[in-house]
Amino acid sequence: MLEIIHSDEAVLAVNKPTGLLTVPGRGPDKQDCCYHRLLESFPDARVVHRLDMDTSGLILFARSPEAQRTISMQFEKREISKTYMALVEGIIEASEGMVDYPMRKDMEQRLPPKHLIDCIRGKKAITEWKVLNRTASTTRVALFPKTGRSHQLRVHMQALGFPIVGDPIYGTPAARLMLHAQSLELFHPVTGESIRLECPAPF
């Protein structure tokens, strides 16, 4: 069962566990996903955005074609504010900063899919970050993506020299990737009112 964070006539928000696909992949072994599980209770659910399989946290679904178009347009226009929690390897000495490194898919590595920094052919990707606390070997940060590239937060933190703890592609594999979509702010597709949805990180 999925944890329902918010439900009304137009918007659904659930807490996606780490290791679960957002939508089905190719092949019968990749049909279990957040979307298919949600359809069991909400047959009108429609996809509006996705999270990496390894990332946990808030993910939105619409409940009508109109709501789907409205929310999707907000994502396209970058009107939705997103906050992620992450635990990274190493000690970040600065208190906050911004990463502005263009990215593209690594065409030489198909499985698992990988992305990389490319200042010539890459698409614009911006991430703001803020340190929350530090331990002897890790730093807890809040991440604020201003664009929505695949693997953006993972690639950007690795590029800074601080890969996210447990990242099987860009860091050191562990029990889980320590990256969680914690909050979303958007305009309700029916009322137009600003709503904030939150789902605290489990780490």
- If you average pLDDT over residues 165-188, what whole number do you get? 97
* Residue in the structure block whose two tokens are 């006539």: 9
Residue 67 CA from chain centroid, whole number: 20
| pLDDT at 27 exceeding the cut of 90 | no
Is 152's pLDDT higher than 90? Answer: yes
Q: Which of 52, 54, 100, 106 is catalytic?
A: 52
* pLDDT, greater one: 29 or 18: 18
Preceding omega of 112 cis (within 30 degrees of 0)? yes
Look up the pTM and report it. 0.95
pLDDT tens readout for residues 86-117: 999 999 999 999 999 999 999 988 888 899 99
Q: What burial letters (b/e) apply to 145-171, b meaning 16+ CB within 10 Å?
A: bbeebebbbbbbbbbbebbbbbbebbb
Mean pLDDT in residue range 151-174: 97
- The one-letter code for the residue type at 56 is S
Query: Residue 111: its pLDDT value, please?
Result: 84
Domain ranges of the chain: 3-198
Could you report the per-residue pLDDT of 51-69, keeping only the tens digit for each?
999 999 999 999 999 999 9
Active site residue 118: no
CATH number corresponding to 3-198: 3.30.2350.10
Average pLDDT over residues 116-143: 97
Across residues 1-5, what is the average pLDDT? 95
Strands 179-187 and 81-89: antiparallel
Residue 199: pLDDT over 90: yes
For strand 56-62 and strand 11-16, is the pairing parallel, antiparallel, or unpaired? antiparallel
| Residue 41: predicted pLDDT | 96
Whether 1 shows a pLDDT value over 90: the answer reads: no
Res 115: pLDDT: 97
Instruction: Please state, as a whole number, how many other Cβ atoms lie within 10 Å of the Cβ of residue 144.
Output: 17
**CB 37: neighbour CB atoms within 10 A?**
16
